Amino acid sequence: MLDALFRPKKVAVIGASSKELSIGNRVIKNLIDFGFKGAIYPINPKADEIRGLKAYKSITDCPDNIDVVHMVIPAKFVPQAVEDCGKKGVKHIIINSGGFSETGADGEAIEKDFLTRAAKYGIRIFGPNCQGVINSDPDIRAYCNFTFTKPEPGFISIVALSGGVAEVIHQGFAAMGVGTRIYASNGNACDVTIPEIIDYLEKDEGTRVIVTYVEGLRDPANFMQTVRQVTASKPILAMKAGRTKEGAKAAASHTGGLAKEDLATDLIFKKAGVVTFMDEGELIQAAAAFATQPIPKGNRVGIITNTGGPAVIATDILVGAGCQLPPLSEKTATLLKETLYPEASVNNPIDVLATGTAAHYRACMDAMMADDAFDCVFINFVTPFFVDNESIAREIVGVSRQGRKPIVCNLMTDRHQWTEVVKILQDGGVPCFSLPGEAARAMAALVRYHEIRSREIGEAKSFGDVDKRKGENILAKAGEAGRKNLSADEVYGILDAYGIPVADWQMASSPAEAVKAAESIGFPVVVKADAADVVHKSDMGAVAVNLNDGQAVHTAVEQMQQKLTIDGLRFLVQKYLPGGLEVIMGAKAEAGLGHMVMFGLGGIYVEVLKDVVFNLTPVTDAEAEEMLSSIKGAPLLKGARGQKNVDRGRLAEIILRLSQLVSDLPAIQEMDLNPIMAFENTAVVVDARISL
Ligand code: ADP
Ligand code: MG
């Protein structure tokens, strides 16, 4: 339980300093200046007093029941200091100092050392190499942190490892005049983790929205589990950095090559219901809307404006983000026509005109709040000198305070001239933005969270007809033989075991055997060379399709034998299945997280179009269905332009079986099913690859 960390009553500072420009001095100053409600104990063997507070020689001299100890001392002294804190019964230690695992092996050893000692006493460590925490709750006012942003109390809590980014985000809110609540930047995070803090914030009633920044997840499975459950009740807004780096790994298979670097983090965010952002500004602005506004019940936006163009910009952005702008109902329109100026435009957007009054704005807002056709209200408000703008602002606040439907406001003003208008809106908790696009994107984020929360999660089906043992045995044999790539018969054997339909096949070692195999499968057939080094078969002339008789099979095998002088070359004879839509599925192991499963357009289009989507195991039925719908080529599955539609149900089932297969057989590093031939009534794998 992190309560004592975020709501401390007694805070000591080991390494408290009389020097103005030191962290050991600054944390004390911050605690005092921020109006900390508890007691502060500077610890310094040489000082009697620091910043007007009685200083103690050591932690053992301090009063008991210390909730939080700051450590601002060189790394090498930390383990002993932790030991002393343990004896004293300290609950939490924030280690601001650096010099630990972030510096190399020696530092890492010190980190391990103090961690063991802390564990012995049940002390939780925050950091090291970190800023610390802040809680702006008026009952607490804890500024256990050495930075400088002094937040107004608010409903947004921020958590990030990186102190720099946490500070940037904090500053962003301050610049907007938006308050924040808990702030936690835990550096190396050697003990208290981000998911743990997020879990705490979920239970913190004063936190309405959690903002986080991530550069890659330490323990993805844990993150996923915690966060998924939090997002069901409280929004988490996140941004991940490091997107521009191209996946460096050149993988032999398509699945590996197509997976963007750290795609898994995005997939975790998505699966866990996190609202993600590519831009920190957008994240901050959206959080400002989440802080005070209710979550909409749908995506239908009503716009009220007193100037034309900005409403058009907002409309484009809202619609582009998937929102709708329904027309006003006849009843609403009639009502408003009676109230507004005759020249006003009574549509959606409603243009009350620049001369529109507070009463006009109020009538429009009330109408949209009452009208079931709208889920959210977007206000465009320019402040002309010839109307009473303060009254308009007050009406907006009044309606926003009702909390019926979310409101965002694009406030077009000179913030130095119209200070009172700005203040009324800000104090009133109306999220105000300086550009129509900013306001529209914040609104769209609210809608996105609504959609996340109401989405169907579905079920990860477990098929009872699979033969896990058979799969394990095949993998064990290949593993013992030290083979990285499974042979064709092994691959098809595993697919068989998992009920994934494959085209009829047999292995052959000679032209004569191949002819016999072809006769038993039935013409036409395909012949493919199979050997460890043959990866992209058609590039090497190792695929011969549409062979209609024994002679053709014989010749094809002979030609491959001549061309591919490889020891142990064997041949897969397979039923030829022309005329289907080629799709691809695949899977790739993700450390600590199971596998990513891929679906997309297959065959020769894979590399060119890269029209593929990913998800994480276990894939649920709803997610499989969503994967089928979310590729760009989705209409092709429905039979675009006179083509036949394909068996989506079967494809979805194969995705689920594939998910189960790789979950059951974690030794699989990568696998490709490319292509799967999809037909109207079935879908069949004709090429597959598995590597360990
Ligand atoms: P590779 O991907 O190693 O080049 P494939 O086995 O995928 O080899 O074969 C290449 C292409 O040949 C496939 O994308 C598909 O268009 C076609 N093909 C392969 N096997 C069959 C089959 N059994 N029926 C119909 N077409 C096939
Ligand atoms: Mg292929």
Tokens of 49: 């007093």
| pLDDT of amino acid 262 | 66
Banded pLDDT at 519 (limits 50, 70, 90): very high
Does the beta carbon of 632 lie inside 6 Å of ligand 1? no
pLDDT score of 242 more than 50: yes
**What average pLDDT does range 270-294 have in this prediction?**
96
Name the strand (E) or helix (H) holding 183.
strand 182-185
pLDDT in tens, 359-380: 999 999 999 999 999 999 999 9
- 272 versus 261: the higher-pLDDT residue is 272
**CB-based burial, 309-327: b 16+ in 10 Å, e otherwise:** ebbebbbebbeebebebbe
pLDDT at 257 over 50: no
d(CA 352, CA 306): 5
Pocket test for ligand 1, best of 671, 687, 690 (most atoms within 8 A of CB): 687
Listed residues: CB within 5 A of ion ligand 2: 674, 687
Q: Select from 505, 507, 466 the least CA-distant residue to 662.
A: 466
What mean pLDDT is predicted for residues 353-363?
97
Tell me the percentage of the chain whose pLDDT exceeds 90.
Answer: 82
What is the Cβ-side half-sphere exposure of residue 385, based on CA atoms within 13 angstroms?
Answer: 2
3-state DSSP of 162-180: CHHHHHHHHHHHHHHCCCE
pLDDT at 243: 59
Give residues with Cβ within 8 angstroms of 624, minimum separation 6: 458, 615, 652, 653, 655, 656, 659
Ramachandran region, residue 429 (left: φ > 0; alpha: ψ -120 to 50; beta: rest): left
Q: What confidence category does residue 244 fall into, taking pLDDT thresholds of 50, 70 and 90?
A: low
| Distance between first and last Cα of the chain | 41
Is the bond into 128 cis (omega within 30 degrees of 0)?
Answer: yes
pLDDT average, residue stretch 47-68: 96
Q: What is the pLDDT of residue 397?
A: 98
Whether residue 536 has its Cβ less than 6 Å from ligand 1: yes
Sheet bearing 407-412, strands edge to edge: 345-346, 350-351, 301-305, 376-382, 407-412, 432-433
Beta pairing, strands 301-305 & 376-382? parallel
Q: Does the global pTM surpass 0.85?
A: yes
pLDDT at 254: 34
Tell which wins on pLDDT, 216 or 681.
Answer: 681
Rounded to whole angstroms, the Cα distance separating 68 from 10 reads 7
Share of residues in the chain with pLDDT > 70 (%) = 97
Q: Looking at the CA of 577, name the nearest ligand.
A: 1
**Cα→Cα distances 130→34, 145, 159, 188, 249, Å:** 19, 9, 12, 7, 32
Mean pLDDT of the chain: 92
Ligand 1 atom at minimal distance to the Cα of residue 525: 23
- The DSSP symbol for 499 reads T
467, pLDDT greater than 90: yes
Q: How confident is the model at residue 246 (pLDDT cuts 50, 70, 90)?
A: very low
Cα 495-497-499 angle, rounded to 5 deg: 70
Q: What is the pLDDT of residue 250?
A: 33
Classify each residue of 553-576 as buried b or exposed e, where b means 16 or more C-beta atoms within 10 Å of its C-beta: bbebbeebeeebebeebbbbbbbb
**Does position 572 have pLDDT exceeding 60, yes or no?**
yes
Cα Rg of the chain, angstroms: 32
Work out which ligand 1 atom sits closest to the CA atom of 528.
6
175-191: pLDDT as tens digits: 999 999 999 999 889 99
For the residues of 624-665, what is the DSSP string, one character each?
Answer: HHHHHHHSTTHHHHTTGGGPPP--HHHHHHHHHHHHHHHHH-
Confidence of residue 164 (pLDDT cuts 50, 70, 90): confident
Give the whole-angstrom CA distance, residue 151 versus residue 173.
Answer: 8
Q: Does residue 537's CB lie within 6 angstroms of at least one atom of ligand 1?
A: yes
What pLDDT is recorded for position 29? 97
526 lines ligand 1 (CB under 6 A): yes
Pocket test for ligand 1, best of 674, 686, 690 (most atoms within 8 A of CB): 686
Is-contact 685 502, C-beta < 8 A?
yes
Amino acid at 58: S
Q: Which residue has the higher pLDDT, 441 or 219?
A: 441
Give, using CA atoms, the residue closest to atom 6 of ligand 1: 687
